[in-house]
Amino acid sequence: MASHPPESPEPSPLDSLWVRTAAPAVPSALVGYPDGPDLTGPEATRPTLPPPPAPRPAAAVATVAARVVAPAPPVPSAAPAPPATASPWVPGTAPANGQTRPAPPATASPWVPGTAPVNGQTRPAPPATASPWVPGTAPANGHAAPAPPTTAAPRVPATALAGDVLTVAPSTRPAPRRAVPVEPPPRPRGRWLLEWVMVLLVAVGVAFGVRTFVVQTFFIPSASMEPTLMIGDRILVDKLSYHLHAVHRGDIVVFATPPNENAGPNVKDLVKRVIGLPGDRISSQGGRVWIDGKPLSEPWLPPGTITTGIEPQTVPPGKLFVMGDNRSNSQDSRFFGPIPRSLIVGRVVIRIWPLSALHIF
């Protein structure tokens, strides 16, 4: 058994007040052990209580009592504290002490189109319309250029790769329809023959008209125009030009054989060069031709050509004096006189044969 502590004087009321405020509370399980737990039995595991405090001196107790009984000195007035400012409230969190959640904005009742707005209702502003944009100009404020039309990518047939060979899948587009040629019905044989006859008649008529009124070919049978035209040459004669203008000096002309000239039974036309025109005074002197008292320049003759046998005369109106370029071997106006203009067939314009001697006059 444990020994008892020494006896202490009877405590005062102040000591009990001090014990109630300063001493720790004793668990109820230990109330029956005023002298402390028995450490030899099963209670050895119970907690040990602290020893009671020593009694205070009488002077200390009097001081504490004076402090308790004496009134407290007046507290000087202080300046009012500034109002507390609440910390801002973070949306999405619960409000803490001093934080206030702002009131939600007032929402007006919706306005029904077609009715007059009432209290709290607001009519929405009409949508802003932009002025039209003129193509070819830069868009201004409020203008919006229309988006360019989208062009679809060209359709490409589906393809599949088989090894190293590219295989094109058949297209689902229908193949274009090809026009089937329709053979015309066979024409009757009589109609075909008639068409050919008509073509031949038209060709002959055109050739005859051209030969009679436009152009005609002639064959040179003699040497009277050498060296300008040789025997065997073929010439093309223009029959239309002298209906449009007069005959010029130096022209090579084809004319019908004069009545007083005997050129042979097969010769119907002659070819000569025009030397004298109507009204010219023509003669030959010193191996040259003289016209109106002046020698005639004849660049178409070879150098050294001598002209003789022209009796001085005046060419009558409506007639022409003609001679061949081969002055020493030509039957011309020196023998049968000036020819009437009406006998002229046309003017020689080109030698067409031989091709090696092709020449335009």
Q: Is residue 323 a contact partner of residue 308, using CB atoms and an 8 Å limit?
A: no
Q: For the stretch 20-33, what's the b/e string if a residue is b when 16 or more beta carbons lie within 10 angstroms of its beta carbon? A: eeeeeeeeeeeeee
Give me the residues paired with residue 123 across strands.
none
Alpha helical stretches, state H, 27-178: 58-69
Q: Which of 222, 224, 284, 330 is catalytic?
A: 224
Amino acid at 209: G
The neighbour count for residue 307, using CB atoms within 10 Å, is 20
- Going by C-beta distance under 8 Å and a sequence separation of 6 or more, which residues neighbour residue 319? 278, 338, 339, 340, 341
DSSP calls for 34-69: TT---TTSGGGGSPPPPPPPPPPPHHHHHHHHHHHH
Q: Which of 272, 284, 319, 330 is catalytic?
A: 272
Q: Are strands 165-168 and 281-285 parallel, antiparallel or unpaired?
A: unpaired
Alpha helical stretches, state H, the chain: 13-22, 58-69, 189-213, 333-336
Report residue 356: phi and psi, to 5°: -70, -20
Rounded alpha-carbon distances, angstroms, from residue 33 to 13, 49, 154, 309, 349:
24, 10, 108, 198, 171
Note if 272 is an active site residue: yes
Amino acid at 278: P
Please give the Cα distance from 152 to 154 (Å, whole number): 6
Please give the Cα distance from 312 to 327 (Å, whole number): 17
Q: Is residue 46 a contact partner of residue 29, using CB atoms and an 8 Å limit?
A: yes
Note if 224 is an active site residue: yes
Q: Is residue 360 a contact partner of residue 350, using CB atoms and an 8 Å limit?
A: yes
Known catalytic residues are 224, 272
